[in-house]
Amino acid sequence: MITAVILAGGKSSRMGRDKLLMTLRGETLLDAAVRRFSAVFDRVFVSVSDFEKYPEIKADKVADIYKNCGPMGGLHAALTHIGTGGIFLVAADLPFSDPVAAKKIVELCGENDIALMRDPQGRYEPLFACYKPSLLPAVEQMLEKGNHKMSALLAGARIRAVTEADLGPLWKDNMLVNINRIEDYESLIKLND
């Protein structure tokens, strides 16, 4: 069984405040992500920097073991604590992330270590991807060496690149739009008025 893990451990430094508590259509970005993925995945966890963060969230949490390591720390904690069948990692600041597309990516992963979207320009999106427990030793080794780059993990892994053709009608151009700056949030609000 694959568990959805919503990354919520970031510092929101470019935003200047906790972006996951900002609202869109009447709910916080974090609550919306939990709601969307809970409707499709049997198990949903929120990856946090520490357990005290987001006490009101209606999902189980997993806390970073390696602190201040970004998404790589969240991936490590998730694979360590809940990754028996694997995890689908999704950043909470992707307001249009589609859990049905996520399930399709899980199916496409097969025996690979990672399945992740590759856009028409050839760029991978590691924060909307399926990760298997076979990666845990490599993740731990990278963290021990101080390497926190998700892109570096791809180098030695068996990867299934997921393209628009693979997802068909599930592919949405805005699915990987994220919110990092106040301008991103303001643009999103205008589009949703």
The pLDDT value recorded for residue 100 is 97
Distance CA 55, CA 117 (A): 32
Helices (H) and strands (E) counted in the chain, each on its own, are 7, 9
DSSP letter at 31?
H
Which string of DSSP letters, residue by residue, matches 81-95? HH-SS-EEEEETT-T
The pLDDT tens digits for 67-81 are: 999 999 999 999 999
The pLDDT tens digits for 27-47 are: 888 999 999 999 999 999 999
pLDDT above 90: residue 169: yes
Share of the chain above pLDDT 70, in %: 89
The pLDDT tens digits for 147-168 are: 999 999 998 899 999 999 999 9
Distance CA 9, CA 19 (A): 11
Instruction: Name the strand (E) or helix (H) holding 56.
Output: none
What six digits make up the tokens of 101? 């597309």
Which structural domains are found in the chain, ordered by start? 3-191 (3.90.550.10)
The pLDDT tens digits for 99-148 are: 999 999 999 999 999 999 988 788 899 999 999 999 999 999 999 999 99
Q: How confident is the model at residue 85 (pLDDT cuts 50, 70, 90)?
A: confident
Q: Which residue has the higher pLDDT, 2 or 20?
A: 2
The pLDDT value recorded for residue 10 is 65
Query: Is 134 in a helix, a strand, or coil?
Result: helix
pLDDT above 90: residue 174: no
Q: Dmax over Cα atoms in the chain, in whole Å?
A: 46
The pLDDT value recorded for residue 192 is 63
Q: Which residue has the higher pLDDT, 164 or 54?
A: 164
Which one, of 135, 94, 92, lies nearest residue 115 by Cα? 135
